[in-house]
Structure 1
Amino acid sequence: MHPLARVAAASALLLFLYPTNSRAQAPVPGAAVKSSMRVLRFSPALDQLIAPGAKPEVVHGGYVFTEGPMWREGRLWFSDEEGDHVHALTASGQDAVLVDFQHGKYALPDGHKTGPNAMAPAKDGSVVMCEQYGRAVVRLEGPASHLRVVPFFDSYHGKRLNSPNDLVFLPDGSFFFTDPPYGLKGGDHDPAKQLKFDGVFHYKNGKLTPIIENLTLPNGIALSPDNKTLYVNNSGPAMRVIAYPLHADGSVGEPRDVIDFTSKDGPGVPDGMKIDSHGNIWTTAPGGIRIVTPQGKVLGQILLPEVAANLAWGGDGTTLYITARTHVYRLQTRVKGYLPAFRR
């Protein structure tokens, strides 16, 4: 899910994590930067996932900070976190605003932002969405033309959540979500922070259970195709992808580091990630999106002119869409993505 939006106003820690070549300085895609949109091949095995010569392309731009992509009913739904909108985008680049949190009936008073972030389809047909600045998990209900934002939950044992960021569903209808402090100006030191930890939660049958409490900045989250491994991105200071054995009750076993990005290779952090149908991890990371085996071998890297926040497969499952600051990009793949449990 995605925090990169508070670069200018963040704490010293966030400034360290997100260098100053941020949203305001991101280049506008065009002829001068198309050469920076390419795929680096580190292993011949990448050819099974991405055809040689395939390159990312721009779908649409003009946003403030894109996040939380999800394919639904023939369009890419995604959040403009700082623009406070939820959008839908067709494959041909036609854009529509589905929810306006800035000026619509769900706008918060006094100019406060909701910060829509990650979304995922639920078993009942609704969409569950994380609100970073609203510090809540909500539902989007109804047809796309008349979506209703319905409160779901915003606290654990009477204490407000930090800022829900990213989520992933299990086939049984329960889901996991990350809860870092990115929606709080002072981060972990903000007086409004009520929980003592930055956690990963499991929601099932009306019950919220923290399953991981020892990460510093839990962010992106994903499941292996067999639903036996839970992957979590920790955005810093130790930037890494972590694998947890997943038990039947939703708890996790001893963690294993898949890959460490603490030695930075460029702007960005481990943020959003998705898994392909072969079990490979496609994760945002310093310097570009990495394609990593479950054992931690890097097969390739996707370079863009902007820092990517998240990604999701759409269409027939072989078109990878990438939300990166002010634009949405896509890349055709040979492998299908592991699609959401309740995709429509």
Structure 2
Amino acid sequence: MHGNTIVEGLAFPEGARWREGALYFSDMHSHQVLRWSAGRLEVLAHIPQKPSGLGFLDEDTLLVASQHDRRVFRIDLRDPGAEPVLHADLTQAASWHLNDLLTDQEGRAYVGNFGSGAPPGEDITPASLALVDVDGSVRAVADDLLFPNGMALRRGGTELVVAETRSSPGRLSVFDVAADGSLSGRRTLVEFESEWPDGLAVDSEDGIWVASPFSDEVIRVDVDGHVTDRLAVANPYAVALGGQDGRDLFVCTAKTWVPEGAAVQRTGAIEVRRVDVPASELRAVARRSR
């Protein structure tokens, strides 16, 4: 492996999340959810309809967005390899395949979808952002998003940042978050020139790291929407902040996003870059499972 690569030989890694000494991520086109810790890679679950975004319902339960059947499943972290359990059905809320997923401190999950199957270069159908409550109930909390992708909570969980990958130009949008998880006050944090923003991660200064796959870099945007850093990384699609001191930026990369090529070529990898500002202390829930 290269010096800054901790995992390689993957199909297409996505949805990276750091928690308590371990990195969790989906290998979308190999249909696996994995956990990496101290150099050891472990398969947690098989998701036949392709896993994407991840989040934590509680300290013992991982949620995963299953793309093609538009469902969210629960994975019991106390029993790796056990069959995932249906948590929520989003077939009425999502107009196309599910995408990224982010949980808040209560274990509620924001879930995006593609909107439609239009390929890059064609106009895509605007999509709704769904909120899955801890009991599995589903409701739309935002509409007219152009390919809602990576998400991050900032300002103590009172604001949600969403990457709109297929807007023109690509942008990060911000919403105010109510106590019940509802969203309001939509506004633009930053519009990029030609970059397509993908996965997001937040640091302790409420700066947002953005994966920009088609400009081969990860970009940091500060709390006011100004670009402060650009790090060269080939083909980055998702990011997570963590590590022992919170200053490891884990980057999911792959030379192709096309499913057929990715599954065969297996160029996917997890790379690490060191950054100055550590991860946000806003954590997913630490409650015991129900």
Q: Same fold (TM over 0.5)?
A: yes
Listed one character per residue, the Cα deviations across residues 72-95 of structure 1 (whole Å, up to 9, x for unaligned) are 453212111112112222343x32
- Partner residue of 2:219 out of 290, 313, 322: 290
- Partner residue of 1:331 out of 256, 259, 273: 273
User: Distance in 2 between the 1:282 and 1:334 partners?
Assistant: 12
Larger radius of gyration: 1
Q: Note the residue ranges of structure 1 that are not aligned, 5 or more in a row.
A: 1-28, 31-55, 102-106, 108-113, 190-195
Q: Which amino acid aligns with 2:207?
A: N
Contact 1:155/1:161 (8 A) holds in 2: no
> Which position in structure 2 is the counterpart of 1:24?
none
- Partner residue of 2:99 out of 145, 156, 165: 165
- 1:177-188 to structure 2, matched below 5 A, reads 177-181=111-115, 184=117
- Partner residue of 2:197 out of 263, 270, 274: 270
User: Distance in 2 between the 1:144 and 1:299 partners?
Assistant: 42
> Which position in structure 2 is the counterpart of 1:221?
151
- Partner residue of 1:89 out of 25, 36, 52: 36
Whether 1:59 aligns to 2:9 is: no
Moved over 3 A (4+): 144-147, 158-161, 184-187
Whether 1:117 aligns to 2:56 is: no
Q: How far is the alpha carbon of 1:308 from its aligned partner? A: 1.0
> Which position in structure 2 is the counterpart of 1:236?
166
- 1:1-344 to structure 2, matched below 5 A, reads 57-72=4-19, 74-92=21-39, 94-101=40-47, 107=48, 114-123=49-58, 125-143=60-78, 145-155=80-90, 158=92, 162-181=96-115, 184=117, 198-204=127-133, 205-238=135-168, 239-261=170-192, 263-264=193-194, 269-285=196-212, 286-287=214-215, 288-305=217-234, 307-316=235-244, 317-325=246-254, 326-338=268-280, 339-342=282-285
User: Distance in 1 between the 2:23 and 2:248 partners?
Assistant: 11
Q: 1:63 to 1:125 in 2, by over 3 A?
A: same
Q: 1:247 to 1:72 in 2, by over 3 A?
A: closer
Q: Which amino acid aligns with 1:315?
A: G
User: Distance in 2 between the 1:70 and 1:124 partners?
Assistant: 13
> Which position in structure 1 is the counterpart of 2:259?
none
User: Distance in 2 between the 1:275 and 1:88 partners?
Assistant: 21
User: Distance in 2 between the 1:186 and 1:59 partners?
Assistant: 31
User: Distance in 2 between the 1:73 and 1:250 partners?
Assistant: 25
Aligned length: 265
Q: 1:202 to 1:315 in 2, by over 3 A?
A: same
Listed one character per residue, the Cα deviations across residues 289-328 of structure 1 (whole Å, up to 9, x for unaligned) are 11001211111012112x1111112333222211112110
Identity of matched residues, %: 23
Q: How far is the alpha carbon of 1:185 from its aligned partner? A: 7.3
SS at match of 1:245: strand
User: Distance in 2 between the 1:124 and 1:170 partners?
Assistant: 13
Q: 1:197 to 1:62 in 2, by over 3 A?
A: same
Q: 1:151 to 1:234 in 2, by over 3 A?
A: same
Q: How far is the alpha carbon of 1:159 from its aligned partner? A: 6.3
Q: Which amino acid aligns with 1:119?
A: L
Q: Which amino acid aligns with 1:332?
A: R
TM-score, with structure 1 as normaliser: 0.69
Contact 1:120/1:340 (8 A) holds in 2: no
User: Distance in 1 between the 2:145 and 2:94 partners?
Assistant: 18
> Which position in structure 1 is the counterpart of 2:264?
none
Q: Which amino acid aligns with 2:18?
A: W
Q: Note the residue ranges of structure 2 that are not aligned, 5 or more in a row.
A: 255-267
Q: How far is the alpha carbon of 1:57 from its aligned partner? A: 1.4
Q: Which amino acid aligns with 2:178?
A: H
Q: Which amino acid aligns with 2:30?
A: G
